[in-house]
Structure 1
Amino acid sequence: MTQEGLKLASEFDPASDEAWRALVEKTLKGRDFDRAMISKSYDDINIHALYTRDTMVQGSRPESRRGDWQILAAHSNPDAGKTNQAILDDLERGASALSLKIASGTTPGIAPAELGNALEGVYLNMVGFSLVPGEEYSTVSKAFLGILKKRAYKAEEVKGCLGIDPIGTLAQTGRLLQPMDEALATGVEVAKGYAEYQHVAAFMADGTPYHMAGATEAQEIGLMLSTAVSYLRSMETAGLELSDAAKNIHFTVAADADVYMTVAKIRAARLLWQQVLEACGVKDTKMSITAAGSARMMTVRDPWVNMLRGTTACFAAAVGGADTICIMPHDALIGMSSGFARRIARNIQIVLQEESNLSKVADPAAGAYAFETITSDLSAKAWTYFQSLEANGGVTPLLASGDLKEELNTAWEKRRINLSKRKDAVTGVSEFPHIHEDAIEEVEAFAEVMADLKPARCEADPLPNHRLAEDFEALRDRSDMMLQANGKRPQVFVANLGTPADYTARSTFAKNFFEAGGIEAVQSENIATAEAAKTAFEKSGAEFAILCSSDGQYEVMGEAVAAALKNAKHVYLAGKPVNGDALKAAGVESFIFMGCNVLETLQNAYDMMGENS
């Protein structure tokens, strides 16, 4: 076939944005186009259904990672021997960097004195490292420097971050061992002590504490940048050249299952840090950034779905251009992760890097109409927020006053409303729950936290740690307690009226609805009469009842069935039928439908069950 014969596109007129919109409006049949086809991020950024060359907003492009990203495996087991074994196992099987959490205050991890044992046999001149020292950063940094000196590595071969983050530590734990000014000065002295290690960053500007508190993408970027600027100022005040100071800051952002926003967040962070450095007169200093799998998106219930969330987050982080990526094992919220779970977390990255070849293209999002536009819009929002933070003295005074906690709580409540209505779905929890799931075995229990606290000299109200699934999982916990106490879970009788064609859609909806909160759905056979509904309900032993069928069947037999189920603690109906008033008069007390507040409905059900729930 000739080359000309392959040019099929030339035979068609180019499709315009106007022509596409006209077809969509025809399909919408009078519904508002903007409401149906444009969603909004939590920063009020419009997310369009279609982006074209003509509608794309093209801003500056960040200098992205080139080549493979580092595959980082995180470790926090207080047992130095087990941690060492797990680290060596990860490195032998594909990880190229490690993160080590140090015991600090009431936060479990490796004791500073056990650092050498945990790193026995680990060639720190061949792998990247990231320490998470919390308030013990001075002690840990000195101990780690001793290890490097003892092993006599060449300074230029050692690459990593010491994780000094007093602002992030204060945000997360509410305490520091020194006043903030002294803590920053101590961090600077540590940086000076590592001066010969040109590829070791002393400070970490971590956005994840704010992400966990409910921050939007723009807020997370702005708070991370403001933190970094505080560290930059401290180093400059102590006499470091700004170019050297900039290289002493590493960044961490949260990567979650929202591909568009995660890609845009990483690219926007690079753009804005470059903008900060240019304002400081610093050139040719590349941002070093780690994308950490979001704990906010992870679930305790049906944790197998966390594998999918981790894969999506890793994909987004890779496309966004993160230098290092860390994916949480799917059982990370249940206990000390098993070897199997760590292997899956590693292999997610290995497959995306080596088989999907995501690292072969520099900035794969470049030129993509949607990614470019969202990046540009998010950059503008984050820059405005960052400027407002700096105008109010930066992050620290906002933490001390509690204003930041209140602000992030406002953002979280907005998200929480959408979660409660399942507008934001959590697969395996609020959608498609499996209340009879088997517990994951071979997971070691979390170590007990020893409250051996040193006196704190800087304290603030810590930011909360939220998870998207937390409210629904709290109801599932109540269901488990009732199962243990009574031998059965709370139950709702599903009265399926008519034939499967009539009730299947709404019956399935009702099952997912109630089981999202741990209320077991007891399905009936085809119900043709009110008397049959009453008999089946009494036989089921359920506390609640719900009618499920088509609007036509509700008109024919809905009122009679509702009246027959008057002995139920509460009678629900799936849908919004035209004879709703008549059904309410007959005994239907609540209607459930797409967009109603699922969480509130389920919480009310537990309240109706009283103290035993």
Structure 2
Amino acid sequence: MTDLTKTAVPEDLSGNLDTWYKAVAGVFARAQKKDVGDIPTDIWKKLIVTTPDGVDINPLYTRVDETNRQLVEVPGEFPFTRGASADQERTGWGVTETFGTDETSVKEINEAVLHALNSGTTTLAFEFSEDFTAADLPDALEGVHLNMVPLLVHAGANTTEVARELYALAEEAGTPFAALTLGSRPLTAQVDGTISDSVDEAIELAKNAAKRAQVRAIVVDGSSFANQGASDAQEIGLSLAVGVDYVRRLVAAGLDAKTALSQLSFRFAITDEQFAQISKLRVARRLWARVCEVLEHPEEGSAPQHAVTARAMFSQRDPWVNMLRSTVAAFAAGVGGATDVEVRNFDDAIAGGVPGVSRNFAHRIARNTNLLLLEESHLGHVIDPAGGSYFVESFTNDLAQKAWEVFSGIEAQGGFSEAFAAGQISDMLDQTWEKTRKDIASRKKKLTGINEFPNLAETPLPAERRVEPFGVRRWAADFEELRNRSDAFLGKTGARPSITLIPLGPLSKHNIRTGFTTNLLASGGIVSINPGQLVPGTAEFADTAKAAEIVVVCGTDQEYAETGEGAVEKLREAGLNRILLAGAPASFEGSSQAPDGYLNMTIDAAATLADLLKALGA
């Protein structure tokens, strides 16, 4: 992190920074009701946010951050941070769409492919299965010009068979491939448990692919790490380690280093954390270029980057919000310089998709997300749109250091395969995922529609569609499991589990905490019953308490000091055994009538809600 208080600041900026320091101090002074002279000038450091990778994000970036950059990089030139190409006729990134998953016949696949190509898709990806095999490719690709449309293959153990069929089609057509990525990924597949061909098969694929133009056999699939909870630096660093592992194996099998490098491409999962994802792709190119430089072929550092919207961020509940998440992710991927971008269907996390929503609609929304950014916003016509941003450039440098530390650590352990066999990769991912899970559980990491602003009125998903996607640690999974319990309770009883609020004081004072509590409980599928202001000692207060099973007292700290103890006492007299309070324990410190628990921003919300559901019989 660049420390603005220690860095040499140009004279024309020092005065402005001093003014900003004082302005920030003034805001804190008003918030804390203190004299501004009692607030330290470096109070702005309280606004620093630290990422999971330990990168500090300042509240303000200026030309000071640019002044301290050690490198002046150019688009299209080593180390390719600012993009793999500086083509002045740039038209943007490839629009990728996957086929073979939603269609029921080869004829439908072909129709969907041709429709997509006529509707803006530029890169075709194929997911092979028992129902869609290599033998189906001639019919599936009928009418497709292989020299015009890049292809991405996801064939698992059948990659060699698919490659053989594609080579035959190209030879029959008498044209080279526009670009073909065979997608062999044995090293990363073992991380998330997905199916792939073997390492030996991958090496043979690479040997054969090296004899053909525009064909790459192996994908270094960083999304496998992201699916298991990797941070951005870990996804990059581990991908570098995998790339180096492949190169070593290919060279040992007889290929020269340059040819080995030419057989690799990369895939990265892109989340809705916009600036971090822009920097992630820039860092991945820079660091891979450094690896290629060490191998004496820096020109190979501009390997293709296939970006795909991260499966971890997709929710089953309120899946329409996934459209917004995907839009931000696609923006970040495109601006970050991805070769092509695949936007997953907004209901990707739901088995079979949202009931009543056609697959054509889901594909069209995904495709148009890319096209709106490219054709209406014209982002693709700008080379490195984020270049020159003080924040992005600084964050890119900081993230690069963290990612290189991950890579160096793996290399020090003997390389990726050695570290994986020793369980060190799994341990790393487990630890990072647990931190992320805790941040989500405590609502420090906010997920709209999940642990923030949930919609209890949405139609419950059928049980058969709540299947958890294989090999992915989804951010929303814990809270959605709570919602599933609520749905099951609703199915049995005709109503959702509920908790009664005990608002103290007028609406203007209790509204903040009744709103907070309602939102919190709803994220666990619990309905809040709000009777409005209640006064301890009144008949209405007593009747409300007697009708409740669990209550949450809501009011201001001042109100708690005046009437809180009496309210808890009256609730006990009404026979309530579970009394919670919206606020901090300090509100009842030393009181003989303290509540049984507290709801606030510091609790493990997921665990608390699970306990409440159990108490309510759900």
- Partners of 2:125 and 2:545 in 1: CA distance: 55
* Aligned twin of 1:606: 613
* Aligned twin of 1:180: none
Q: TM-score, normalised by structure 1?
A: 0.87
* Aligned twin of 1:453: none
The answer to whether 1:580 aligns with 2:588 is: yes
Amino acid paired to 1:28:
F
- Partners of 1:196 and 1:120 in 2: CA distance: 25
The answer to whether 1:102 aligns with 2:128 is: yes
| Residues 321-376 of structure 1: per-residue CA shift (max 9 Å, x gap) | 11111111111111345211211111111111111111121111211111011100
- Partners of 1:187 and 1:495 in 2: CA distance: 64
- Partners of 1:569 and 1:484 in 2: CA distance: 27
* Aligned twin of 1:25: 25
Superposed displacement of residue 168, structure 1: 1.4
Superposed displacement of residue 500, structure 1: 1.5
2:283 to 247, 268, 271: 268
Q: 1:543 to 1:84 in 2, by over 3 A?
A: farther
In structure 2, runs of 5+ residues without a counterpart are 1-11, 30-38, 74-80, 354-358
Amino acid paired to 2:449:
G
* Aligned twin of 1:364: 385
- Partners of 1:99 and 1:506 in 2: CA distance: 49
1:86 to 112, 129, 132: 112
| Residues 405-427 of structure 1: per-residue CA shift (max 9 Å, x gap) | 11111111112221111111011
Moved more, 487-496 or 556-565: 556-565
1:116-515 alignment, distance < 5 Å:
116-150=138-172, 152-155=173-176, 157-173=177-193, 183-285=198-300, 286-337=302-353, 338-438=359-459, 465-515=472-522
| Contact in 2 for aligned 1:573/1:590 (Cα 8 Å) | yes
* Aligned twin of 2:94: 70
RMSD (Å) for aligned C-alpha atoms: 2.7
Moved more, 137-146 or 274-283: 137-146
The answer to whether 1:546 aligns with 2:552 is: yes
- Partners of 1:349 and 1:546 in 2: CA distance: 46
Partner secondary structure for residue 263 of structure 1: helix
| Contact in 1 for aligned 2:588/2:594 (Cα 8 Å) | no
Q: 1:240 to 1:321 in 2, by over 3 A?
A: same
* Aligned twin of 1:458: none
- Partners of 2:97 and 2:479 in 1: CA distance: 30
- Partners of 2:449 and 2:140 in 1: CA distance: 36
Superposed displacement of residue 266, structure 1: 0.3
Partner secondary structure for residue 274 of structure 1: helix
| Contact in 2 for aligned 1:135/1:169 (Cα 8 Å) | no
Q: 1:254 to 1:205 in 2, by over 3 A?
A: same
| Contact in 2 for aligned 1:551/1:578 (Cα 8 Å) | no
In structure 1, runs of 5+ residues without a counterpart are 1-11, 178-182, 450-462
1:534 to 536, 542, 545: 542
| Residues 377-399 of structure 1: per-residue CA shift (max 9 Å, x gap) | 11111112111112222222333
* Aligned twin of 1:525: 532
Superposed displacement of residue 153, structure 1: 4.1
Moved over 4 A (4+): 12-15, 174-177, 443-449
- Partners of 1:436 and 1:404 in 2: CA distance: 41
Q: Which has the higher contact order (CA 8 A, sep 6+)?
A: 1
Q: 1:535 to 1:89 in 2, by over 3 A?
A: farther
- Partners of 1:13 and 1:218 in 2: CA distance: 32
Calculate percent identity across the aligned residue pairs.
Answer: 30
Q: TM-score, normalised by structure 2?
A: 0.86
* Aligned twin of 1:9: none
| Contact in 2 for aligned 1:551/1:577 (Cα 8 Å) | no
Superposed displacement of residue 448, structure 1: 13
- Partners of 2:352 and 2:174 in 1: CA distance: 32
Partner secondary structure for residue 64 of structure 2: coil
